[in-house]
Every structure is written in C-alpha cells, then in structure tokens.
C-alpha cells in the first residue's frame, strides 16, 4: 500500500555500500518504491502512545534512567535547574528568534514520559479523565535492551527540534523539559497545547514492540465526541500535520514506515489516547522507531540519527504551519 501525503518522497530501498547517497533523489517519485521499503523490517512506541513498551512506574523492565546511547556525540545541552533561564513549570516557553518564516507561530513539543517517572509510581499510576474513559496519568515508557530510555530519547529529539524551529522564528513550548520530578499527566499535556493556542503540537515517542518489528508510525486522532473530549474540529488538520511529518521524517532519516502497524502507510488513527482526545489544536504523536529491535535501537541511540529525526519532525511542522 502506498502512502500519499504532502511533501512526501516515497521511501527508497536500503542503499548498498556502492551506491552514492544522492542516487536516492533520482528515484524519489517512483511509485513502486514503497514496495521496496516494505521488505524492510520496521517499528512503533510506548506509554500514552499506547505501544507495547509503555509500563507504569514500578513495572519497568529497567527501573532506571540510563545515559544517552551515543555518549556526547552531537548532544543538545540539558537545561540546568540552577539556570534562571530554565522554567520550573511544565510548559517551558522559549524565546523565539527576532524574525523568520515562523515568526508569530506557536509550536508545542511534547517529549513523551519523563525520566523521573520510574521513581513516582503512585503519582503516575493514578487515573485521569481522557474523555472516553479514565486512564493512567502517565507511564515510564520503554527502553532499549541496553537501558537507553524512551524518556531520554524523547527529550533529546525534542530539544534538537526546538533549536531548529526557534532558528526559524517560532515560539516553542515544551510540556516538560526534564525540569519536574514526574509527569505531567496526559490530560495536562493536552491542556498545555490548548492553552498555548498552538498552531501545531507533536508528541515525540519511541515504541517497545517485539524484535523484528521496525519502522516509524505517526498516530492521528480519531473523531471522538464524548465527555470532555471533542476532537472533531481537529481531525482533518491533524491528519494534514501527520502526513507532512511522516513525509519529511522519511526524507530526512531514510526510515521505513512501520512493518507491524499502519498497513505500510506510516499512519495510524486512534481514539484511546488522552493526549489526542483532549486536544483542541492540531496534534499528532510520532513513534520514531522500536527500541526493542536491535537495528532500530542502533539508530535511536545515535546522536547523528536523532538529529535527522528532529530535522524531519521540524520540517513537517514548518510545512504545516506555513501552508
């Protein structure tokens, strides 16, 4: 099945060592290219994104926060708690560039989970209203087999994306920036985007599926009108945002759409995620890869690859807010 969306270059088959990188562009629009990608092994995430890797605190397979898998290579600095420029609130506004194509635009990035969730079992296990039912406040997320956590991954990619977007003039806010001991809960994550009147919100995750499951997928909100949830106004714009993010993610990372969810499209619609159900602004989740697959894990733990992921996510956002 082919994936069709704005700014999408159909993915290319895995390059051989003898092929020059620029050859990819020559075949970028070949309709049959996706079939080649489907021969790849692919992936998906955990936690609020609902992948198999999300677990409540206390039920984690590692029970600890590991260091980044790539050491210090191309690492984005972490805000210091003693730095007066670091906000202690869950929503972390950044100062936008003086000018740029995104001047006046507000983007909220939601780094999935929190490195401190492991130590706060009671807090993240309590149930919150997500419109359709009640669900755990948050989860720990997943990790690679070597212990690199999803929470560390999402913060790193989010910080890289923030830098890219701010350089183009956007005001970027985080739901959490490693500056709170746990959470926020999924309902608060949605509320932060709503109260910011964000032009776009992207929640960054990585999956915890079985070995051999590879690739990325973007989760879109389904039409929900129940309790406190009414996603009907954002379903169409969120799909547009998701398609643009998926297309640019492929272009920048070379990753294939998931081989285990989404029927090869890289897009999945869900109605059980509080972060989407309670949003009143365009919002999607992206599961960047499967941390439990060794091949995907090698990418997710690479600082160079995380920079490509951040670039792809950012370009998708730029394409959406400037349309």
Q: What is the C-alpha to C-alpha distance for residues 110 and 176, in angstroms, rounded to an integer?
A: 7
3-state secondary structure of 155: helix
Annotated active-site residue 287? The verdict is: yes
Q: What is the C-alpha to C-alpha distance for residues 106 and 129, in angstroms, rounded to an integer?
A: 26
Neighbouring C-alpha atoms within 13 Å toward the C-beta of 235: 13
Distances (CA, A) of 182 to 81, 134, 139, 174: 15, 19, 10, 14
The catalytic position among 243, 287, 295, 315 is 287
Distances (CA, A) of 307 to 159, 164, 170, 230, 285: 10, 10, 18, 34, 18
Residues 6+ apart with CB under 8 A from 320: 199, 200, 240, 241, 244, 245, 282
DSSP E strands, the chain: 92-93, 106-111, 127-129, 134-136, 171-174, 200-207, 217-221, 225-226, 229-230, 267-270, 283-290
Q: Give the Cβ contact number of residue 77 at 10 Å.
A: 8
Distances (CA, A) of 280 to 190, 200, 205, 284, 293: 8, 10, 20, 12, 34
Q: What is the C-alpha to C-alpha distance for residues 118 and 96, in angstroms, rounded to an integer?
A: 33
The DSSP output letter for 35 is: H
Q: For the chain, how big is the Rg over CA atoms in Å?
A: 18
Give kind and range of the element (H or E) at residue 188: helix 186-195
Give the active site residues. Answer: 287
């Amino acid at each position: 099945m082919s994936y069709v969306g704005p700014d999408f270059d159909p993915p290319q088959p895995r390059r051989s060592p003898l092929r020059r990188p620029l050859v990819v562009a020559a075949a970028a629009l070949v309709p049959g290219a996706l079939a080649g990608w489907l021969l790849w092994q692919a992936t998906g995430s955990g936690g609020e994104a609902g992948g198999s890797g999300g677990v409540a605190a206390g039920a984690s397979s590692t029970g600890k926060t590991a260091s980044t898998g790539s050491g210090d290579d191309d690492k984005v600095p972490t805000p210091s708690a003693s730095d007066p420029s670091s906000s202690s609130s869950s929503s972390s506004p950044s100062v936008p560039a003086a000018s740029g194509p995104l001047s006046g635009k507000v983007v909220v990035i939601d780094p999935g989970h929190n490195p401190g969730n492991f130590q706060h079992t009671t807090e993240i296990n309590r149930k919150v209203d997500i419109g359709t039912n009640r669900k755990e406040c948050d989860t720990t997320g997943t990790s690679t087999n070597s212990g690199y956590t999803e929470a560390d991954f999402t913060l790193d990619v989010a910080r890289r994306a923030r830098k890219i977007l701010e350089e183009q003039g956007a005001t970027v806010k985080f739901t959490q920036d490693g500056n709170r001991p746990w959470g926020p809960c999924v309902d608060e994550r949605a509320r932060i985007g709503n109260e910011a009147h964000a032009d776009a919100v992207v929640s960054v995750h990585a999956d915890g599926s079985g070995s051999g499951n590879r690739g990325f997928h973007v989760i879109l909100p389904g039409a929900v009108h129940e309790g406190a949830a009414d996603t009907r106004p954002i379903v169409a714009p969120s799909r547009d945002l998701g398609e643009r993010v998926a297309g640019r993610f492929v272009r920048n990372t070379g990753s294939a759409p998931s081989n285990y969810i989404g029927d090869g499209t890289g897009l999945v619609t869900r109605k059980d995620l509080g972060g989407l159900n309670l949003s009143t602004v365009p919002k999607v989740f992206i599961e960047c890869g499967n941390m439990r697959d060794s091949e995907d894990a090698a990418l997710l733990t690479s600082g160079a690859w995380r920079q490509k992921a951040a670039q792809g996510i950012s370009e998708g956002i730029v394409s959406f807010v400037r349309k």
